[in-house]
Amino acid sequence: MRILVTGACGFVGFALTGALLESVEGLSVCGIDNLMRPGSETNRSRLAKLGVKFVHGDIRSASDVEALPQADWVIDAAANPSVLAGVGPCGGGSRQLVEHNLASMIHVLEYCKRHQAGLFVLSSSRVYSIPELARLPMRDDGQAFELDDSLPLPTGVSASGVGPSFSTQAPVSLYGSTKLACEVLALEYGAAFGFPVWINRCGVLAGAGQFGTPDQGIFAFWVNAHLRRRALRYIGFDGNGKQVRDALNPVDLCVLLRSQMQTGRQDGRRIYTAGGGPANSMSLAQLNRWCDDRFGRHQPASDLTPRLYDLPWLIMDSSHASHDFQWMPAISIDETLNQIAEHAETHPHWLELSRQ
């Protein structure tokens, strides 16, 4: 089997490549990356050691994509992954965001059409309606927000988290809208030209070697910054750090992708939510307490100023993936945080590398 991974030197692309090579016999992988993400160059030599054919190219360029060797499957892991992309100070302009996340998808889809390659779209929890998520009833347990499921809830959300049927009504952020548009385009191409498309709306992906910054990769950023005694802030929500996310290790995501590759199903569900779920979720305050226990006390500052697109609670419900593929995350959030911490302890300049 031959797999093409776009964004192969990014955290998720590299982690999935390594996990697939470990678990799939006879697999050959070609990876393409433009190496624009700070830190991504460090994964280039590591891919070579794994036997991956690496192409330094840009999927925004049709000619770069057309020159790639034929593959049976494409894993599209190339994107600007920040919800603040296009509007914040760190994410580039709005046109650049659309070119990165949406225009490049057209070239990938044409590649799949030409080679009849199956496609995995790694989508995002941020395709969901921000006003609808913000209106969900919450309880405050002192350390974290919790969904109050004793009150009426909208379609697509339960104590297990947010599922595929939750509202995607705008606004969803500029970033979220590019991911949602990619989903629609991919499904249409797959239906029109007869190649399989799987869409996985992932929660926060986290693990060792992630290039964490304050606007994405929050678990890796927080652990690294806490260890180095860098300034940390609880932004918005009364400045107490009670906002909650779930964490999914890419090694667990790899297991789901393998199951989807192996199915012969031609119809039925194609959009799944994949996340750590309630058992693998925590607030920033709980994350900081975990870091305090490991590294010693370090108190974040409180910043009461709301930040665009921030939400109090967002956890992914993986029930459909569990039902259809008998899949559930196997790596606990504690294990993932320990992996991040061990990496942080052995890479003292990781934050500087990630923010060059």
Q: Each residue of 266-311: pLDDT tens digit?
A: 788 999 999 999 999 999 999 999 999 999 999 999 999 999 999 9
**Tokens 């060059």 found at:** 356
- pLDDT(91) > 70: no
In a 3-state reduction of DSSP, which class is residue 337? Answer: helix
In a 3-state reduction of DSSP, which class is residue 9? Answer: coil
What secondary structure letter does DSSP report for 283?
E
E strands, the chain, in order: 2-6, 28-33, 53-56, 73-76, 118-124, 138-140, 145-147, 157-158, 161-162, 197-202, 204-205, 233-235, 244-248, 271-274, 281-283, 301-303, 313-314
Q: What tokens were used for 234? A: 């609880």
Q: What tokens were used for 349? A: 């300049």
| Average pLDDT for 97-124 | 96
Q: Each residue of 146-158: pLDDT tens digit?
A: 999 999 999 999 9
- pLDDT(114) > 90: yes
| Average pLDDT for 205-222 | 91
- pLDDT(78) > 70: yes
Q: What is the pLDDT of residue 356?
A: 58
What's this model's pTM, rounded to 2 decimal places? 0.96
Q: What is the CA radius of gyration of the chain?
A: 19
Q: Which of 38-47, 50-59, 228-237, 239-248 bottoms out in mean pLDDT, i.e. has the lowest?
A: 38-47
Q: What is the pLDDT of residue 216?
A: 82
The DSSP bridge pattern shows strands 138-140 and 145-147 to be antiparallel
Q: What is the pLDDT of residue 90?
A: 56
Q: What is the largest CA-CA distance in the chain?
A: 57
**Rounded to 5 degrees, what angle do the CA atoms 33, 108, 102 make?**
85
Q: What percent of the chain has pLDDT over 70?
A: 99
- pLDDT(202) > 90: yes
Q: Which residue has the higher pLDDT, 76 or 351?
A: 76
Torsion on CA atoms 166, 172, 178, 182, rounded to nearest 10: 10
Give the separation between CA 183 and CA 256, rounded to whole angstroms: 18
- pLDDT(339) > 80: yes
Give the separation between CA 318 and CA 273, rounded to whole angstroms: 5
Neighbours of 354 (CB within 10 A): 21
Give the separation between CA 9 and CA 78, rounded to whole angstroms: 9
- pLDDT(10) > 60: yes
CA 320 to chain centre: 18
In a 3-state reduction of DSSP, which class is residue 221? Answer: helix
Neighbours of 163 (CB within 10 A): 20
What is the band of 37 on the pLDDT scale with cuts at 50, 70, 90? confident
What is the band of 265 on the pLDDT scale with cuts at 50, 70, 90? confident
Give the separation between CA 105 and CA 186, rounded to whole angstroms: 8
Which amino acid is present at 350?
A: W
